[in-house]
Structure 1
Amino acid sequence: MSHLTGEFECKLDNKGRMMIPAGLKKKLPEAESEGLVINRGFKKYLVIYTKKEWDKKLDELSKLNQYESKNIEFIRYFTRGATELTLDAAGRVNLPQSLLDYANIKADAVLTCQINKIEVWDKAAYDAMIDSEPENFAALAEEVMGDKRKGETI
């Protein structure tokens, strides 16, 4: 899979079905044959993975020592609500009501691509999050992406 980019506004119907936008669907050719997996995000949003990406996450989790309580707790909360999605003939996926409730998504959603996953946000919550961009984004960029070798002796 190539890296995913873009933001897409979507509407959910009264049954919780969402049309995968055509531009995004083109970037997910395996979605029709293999399906997708949706899960809770770390905050009040949802995350969609291709089946292949989800399996990578499960492989990472399987390497954790499951005799350590923090690992068990993380696995439990990370996988809670994970649901396989299949596209119907119209290119829609049916999002589980429990996950929609968790993320407070009603009818208007934003899909935002994040390299190898897709975040699904309630539109109002997404707009509020984007509006709270750090005042000094350049400083955040330097902290996160700056020279990782600073402080190392050569």
Structure 2
Amino acid sequence: MTQLLGEFDCKLDAKGRLMVPAALKKQLPDSEKEGLIINRGFEKNLVIYPKKVWDAIVTDLSKLNIYEKNNREFIRSFTRGATELSLDAAGRVLLPKSLVDYAGIGSDLVLACQLDRIEVWDKKSYEDIFDDVPENFANLAEQVMGGKKGGADVE
């Protein structure tokens, strides 16, 4: 399983291209060959998936019963705007304008690695999320992870 790590401040150039940071490219050695997929996130952000991760998600989506309205609506919303990204010779990717507009991304953005995917946020929006982190993060950790044994099991 892909485990991506890091948070990267980046800029979009005038043509909407993003220079993929070298430290992130090292974590995505197959991306030039296999590709990356970008689509809308659940919040006002974008998400970049390594192709293998995207393929696994699409496999899960294909198992949903398309005769159920909620399933169709979810598939339609989730895949809306999904686009394959290609690294150019300079290590840049062109972000689709429609997706950049959806997420309200200006020239300054943050790439935030989240396990096997990369969230793409407008820098100010990303910073605003964490304004009340200390207390709320502790409460969230208790709600999400409270029933689990403390610490990670390492073999």
Q: TM-score, normalised by structure 2?
A: 0.92
Equivalence for 1:147: 147
Amino acid at match of 2:11: K
Q: 1:55 to 1:2 in 2, by over 3 A?
A: closer
Alignment of 1:35-74 (within 5 A): 35-74=35-74
Aligned residues: 149
Q: 1:136 to 1:15 in 2, by over 3 A?
A: closer
Aligned counterparts of 1:135 and 1:8: Cα–Cα separation in 2: 25
Aligned counterparts of 1:67 and 1:148: Cα–Cα separation in 2: 37
CA apart distance, 1:136 = 3.9
Residue 21 (str. 1) matches residue 21 (str. 2): yes
Consecutive unaligned residues of structure 2, counting only runs of 5 or more, are: 150-155
Equivalence for 2:113: 113
Q: TM-score, normalised by structure 1?
A: 0.93
Secondary structure in 2 aligned to 1:10?
strand
Secondary structure in 1 aligned to 2:37?
strand
Amino acid at match of 1:35: G
Q: 1:54 to 1:2 in 2, by over 3 A?
A: closer
Equivalence for 1:98: 98
Amino acid at match of 1:126: Y
Aligned counterparts of 1:39 and 1:124: Cα–Cα separation in 2: 20
Q: 1:94 to 1:136 in 2, by over 3 A?
A: closer
Aligned counterparts of 1:79 and 1:136: Cα–Cα separation in 2: 31
Amino acid at match of 1:130: F
CA apart distance, 1:89 = 0.2
